[in-house]
Amino acid sequence: MKVTIVLSVAGLAIGGAVPRVRRSEPPSYAMPGVRFRGITIKPSHSVRPRSADAVTSNHVAMQKIHGHLPQRNWQKTLHKAVGDTWDLKSEYNLTKPATSNMTFLYNTNYAIPISIGDQEFQVTVDTGSSDTWVVQSNFTCVDPTTLGPINPSYCGFGPTFDGTFQHGLVPDVADFAFMYGDGESIGGQTGYEDITIAGVTVKKQEMLLANRATWYGDGITSGILGLSYPLETKIFNTTDQSRNFAGSPSHRKYDPVFTSMYKQGLVPPLFSMAMDRSSQKGWLAFGGLPPVDHASDYARAPIRIVEVDNAPATRTENTYYTIIPDGFIFGRLNTSTFTYSNPSWNGLFNDTNESQFPVMIDSGTTFAFLPRAIVLPYVQQFTEPMGRFGGQYWAPCDSTVPPFGVTIGGKTFYLSEADLLQQEVRQQQDYNGTPITLCLIGLGDNLPDGPFIFGDMFLNNFVSVFDVGAGEMRFYAREGDNSTNATSEAGSSE
């Protein structure tokens, strides 16, 4: 996900109860109520019945892109407010001191080929943003410190777009310019091009060409394919950033690529994705499912509207793919033995019985970010947890991985150990003169106001269906190499 600083998300106000679980499972953890400021959550509006989940020919293979990059998602800015590193032993009585010489967080994203006119590019698939853009030839790479031009290779883009829009510029629109929360930025022009993805061609699609950028690229991708809603597009009629937010008078909302596809009747109003952990690949499908093995039943959850106080348009329109999980099950934690009055929470949770909160489904975020009231007790069940950096925790790579379950629509899915302890993401530490190898735990915590996110480490376990028409998400447990352990409650899948 790439989220701009144009719209500041302040917080959330949610209530609910954790569903019953079978006696053979550990009890769900009832998180103390989270009182967030400035946001209300309500159900989305369905515009048509649920689309059939049939395999479609309109699918394309995704490629997993690795890189030791500065953390590019919006969590980086949020975590700066509380500090990136501290001693967990003194604060939380963990078993070993927390130290870290890490200067980067490991990022992965999934890329697909798209054709723009007669040119082909690899772009990052991002369900957490809406604009589609690629970088233009002869662009200016801008130094983030001096703001002066530097060698274009420093921005790390793949191939650049040659020429300009074949169908012309969008009239009466200022050149776009927006900055992401980590200091990355792009700017350029908006125009119309023919875009082909997975065999589906959208004629005269509005998109962006970046002619200047401050970027930390991977050397492969040339831009982003945004798959979220029209309200999250970032084109405005003014360059005054203080006036530019979703639904503001200056906002020039337009239909992103996927929205154009289904409005023009090219595909049903859904897309789906499946990420293959072992092959480093995956699938993105429009109008149906990709050709992968999965369970026959599914869990479903309505997509929620996130109403932001300073953006009235968000009262009736979707912004992100936001759901509310029923609850979480992890390790051996029992609510009867959990102390809610831990002073380290600093009064961030009230004493009500609320236990649910919204989570965004975001393919542009590598890991998952949840409240510390959930993540920290889970991390404490690893073998000798070592420390925290940038909202991420590390544990010895040979640790026993405690189970972690997410309950959605009454069905509990236990995430893979490979996603919960990332063996590919390692750092070496010296502990009392003994070298030790630490691996990254796939769950990070976040500020109390969120945002809370299920990223790729969550999506690896499912065929995830984004049914915009029905206003819901569906999750099929994977089978085969990406198999997911799932248990059902009565009435869970329908």
Of 362, 419, 445, 467, which one is the catalytic site residue?
Answer: 362
- Neighbouring-strand partners of residue 270: 467
Identity of residue 300: R
- Neighbouring-strand partners of residue 169: 191
- Using an 8 Å Cβ cutoff, are 209 and 107 in contact? no
- Using an 8 Å Cβ cutoff, are 452 and 461 in contact? no
Cα gap 188→235, rounded to integer Å: 11
Active site residue 131: no
Q: What does residue 282 show for φ and ψ, rounded to 5 degrees? A: 180, -170
- Local structure of 472: helix, strand or coil: strand
Cα gap 156→221, rounded to integer Å: 8
Residue whose C-alpha is closest to residue 404's, from 353, 361, 457, 360: 457
What is residue 375's DSSP assignment? Answer: H
423-426 long-range contacts (CB < 8 A, ≥24 apart) are 423/397, 424/66, 424/106, 425/106, 426/397
- Token look-up 């700017």 returns 187
Cα gap 119→287, rounded to integer Å: 24
- Token look-up 């130290």 returns 99
Residues making up the chain, counted from first to last? 494
Cα gap 459→282, rounded to integer Å: 11
Active site residue 126: yes
- Neighbouring-strand partners of residue 268: none
For 339, the token pair is 């102390």
- Residue 461, Cβ neighbours under 10 Å: how many? 27
- Using an 8 Å Cβ cutoff, are 493 and 299 in contact? yes
Cα gap 401→122, rounded to integer Å: 35
What is the enclosing helix (H) or strand (E) of 262? helix 257-263
Of 126, 276, 449, 456, which one is the catalytic site residue?
Answer: 126
What is the set of active-site residues? 126, 362
